Structure 1
Amino acid sequence: MMNISKTKRNFICWHTLFAVISAALGAVILHFALPGHYFGGYPFIPVYFYFFGLASIYMFDACRRHAPQRLLLLYLAMKMIKMILSLILVLIYCLAVREEAKAFLLTFISFYLIYLIFETWFFFSFEMNQKRKKKNKKKHETVA
């Protein structure tokens, strides 16, 4: 059986659910609320953020196991890598498909911000749970 931590499993489940809902909601908005603004590159955007999130959680899990003191540094590094890679991909797409550039750019930025909020919330919750567990563990050790 595959060795997967509870945190990784939770993130993958929540991340997958979030990706499906946000992709479907984005498609509905582009088709019905903003008719004529759906573009051929739309499916690329949710897929990009989904796979980047999966890569991130695997890196965070490895860091948590081997160098937990560097977890915050890895988090910040992953955010910078995501930003730089996103800028490169946006530039390439906008130069290659100029007629869809505006719709692609606005949609990509929306997904970027939504995923930034989701990932920040998840990892903030993770850190708060870790602190609470440590506090409870110390409390039980003191009582015993």
Structure 2
Amino acid sequence: MLLKAIKKKFIQELTGTGLILTIGTLLFFHFFFPERYFQWFPLIPVFFYVFGLFYIYMFEFSYQLGADKIAMTYLICKVLKFILSALVLIFYGFVIEDEVGAFVAAFVFFYFAFLVFETRFFLRFEAKLKLSKQVKNEKNTVHSNNTAAFVGNSNHDAESGNGQ
């Protein structure tokens, strides 16, 4: 249940972040550098949105394998995103060659913006997992039969004067 809520929240925040960044970048190009706008710009937000969806589904898959696999999944996704981003930049620079500087600047801007977004989300996700695990452990400790050994026998404490 926790994972479905987190996945839904991630997709909502991913969509909102993507729209805000796209509109902001379009307005930046329109008002400050209209001659530098390139027709391939819409592919940049689509790339990062699709990768964000891949990212959350990989987290869901790794969570089902075990919560201890999430950190490794995070690192694998970051490396994969870096490699794919480098390939996209190289491909664009050598094959398409249309406003390469503007494309690289916009792509790097989106890369770092989504890096911050995903890292922030991952840290919050890890904190919620630790908190839910801690609450679960506390419930097990409070309701387990071993707690009677720590409480002690109250009649014995009262007779010996140990009223702690």
Per the normalisation by structure 1, the TM-score is 0.90
2:86 is equivalent to residue 87 of structure 1: yes
Aligned length: 141
% identity of equivalent residues: 35
Output the aligned Cα RMSD. Answer: 1.5
Partners of 1:139 and 1:49 lie apart in 2 by: 40
Unaligned runs of 5+ in 1: none
Partners of 2:97 and 2:137 lie apart in 1 by: 59
For residues 35-57 of structure 1, the C-alpha deviation after alignment (integer angstroms, 9 at most, x for no partner) is: 32211111010000000110111
2:47 is equivalent to residue 60 of structure 1: no
CA contact (8 A) 2:38 2:98 kept: no
Partners of 1:104 and 1:123 lie apart in 2 by: 28
Unaligned runs of 5+ in 2: 144-164
Match of 1:107 in 2: 106
CA contact (8 A) 1:31 1:37 kept: no
Match of 1:34 in 2: 33
Match of 2:68 in 1: 69
Partners of 1:89 and 1:39 lie apart in 2 by: 15
Task: Return 14-23 or 132-141, whichever deviates more.
Answer: 132-141
Letter in 2 for 1:103: A
Shift of 1:10: 1.1
